[in-house]
């Protein structure tokens, strides 16, 4: 075991989350052991369990941190076109999903019924929907409600499609991206008096 470095509690927690994130990204959830995390971090199991009482607690904290980073990286420019806004958000998420394939699959498959993980994902989708609503030119409350419902359904569609793609890549990333953008444009066009994506075929 590597020699232990003296860190503040906050820095130690961050280090353990970083180690956990690397292991969960590369290894199926069921194969990650807390002993592996402790060894990689150069700490005792007792110290690890003081910060995270279970593997589930470690994974949940790691996934919440990843969600927070993704939201911070996803900023929709009101001056950009709808397609540009969708592209920026999708690219940020695709980059994370590909780099952390096993963690994403664990959250969406192994822990699919877990209320803590589901809350993290639901909160992220709600935040993304609110941000998109904030930059779209909506005429009135009725339009807002209709577009909000369409975006909610679209975000779930993207989530399911991407998880399936991570399991078995049946198309290229460019094709996946085009499918997701096309689905959003197709769902939103009937709800606007003017085409929200004139730059999309």
Cα–Cα–Cα angle for 42, 44, 45, nearest 5°?
120
Cα 185 versus chain centre, distance? 21
d(CA 126, CA 49): 32
- Report the alpha-carbon distance of residue 113 to residue 117 in Å, rounded: 8
What whole-number percentage of the chain has pLDDT above 90? 84
The model's pTM is 0.88
Rounded distance between C-alpha atoms, residue 93 and residue 165, angstroms: 13
Helix axes 141-167, 82-99, angle to 10 degrees: 30
From the centroid of its chain, how far is CA 85? 16
Q: 87-142 pLDDT, tens per residue?
A: 999 999 999 999 999 999 999 999 989 999 999 999 999 999 999 998 888 888 99
């Amino acid at each position: 075991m590597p020699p232990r470095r003296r860190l503040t509690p906050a820095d130690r927690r961050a280090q353990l989350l970083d180690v956990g994130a690397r292991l969960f990204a590369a290894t199926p959830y069921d194969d990650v052991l807390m002993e592996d995390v402790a060894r990689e971090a150069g700490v005792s199991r007792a110290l690890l369990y003081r910060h995270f009482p279970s593997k589930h607690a470690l994974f949940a904290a790691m996934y919440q941190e990843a969600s927070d980073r993704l939201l911070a990286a996803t900023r929709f420019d009101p001056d950009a076109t709808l397609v540009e806004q969708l592209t920026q958000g999708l690219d940020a998420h695709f980059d994370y999903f590909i780099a952390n394939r096993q963690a994403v699959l664990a959250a969406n498959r192994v822990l699919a019924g877990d209320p803590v993980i589901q809350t993290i994902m639901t909160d992220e989708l709600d935040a993304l929907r609110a941000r998109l609503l904030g930059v779209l030119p909506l005429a009135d409350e009725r339009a807002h409600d209709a577009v909000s419902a369409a975006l909610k359904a679209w975000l779930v569609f993207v989530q399911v499609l991407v998880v399936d793609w991570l399991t078995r890549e049946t198309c290229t990333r460019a094709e996946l991206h085009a499918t997701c953008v096309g689905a959003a444009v197709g769902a939103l066009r009937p709800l606007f008096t003017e085409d929200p994506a004139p730059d999309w075929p």
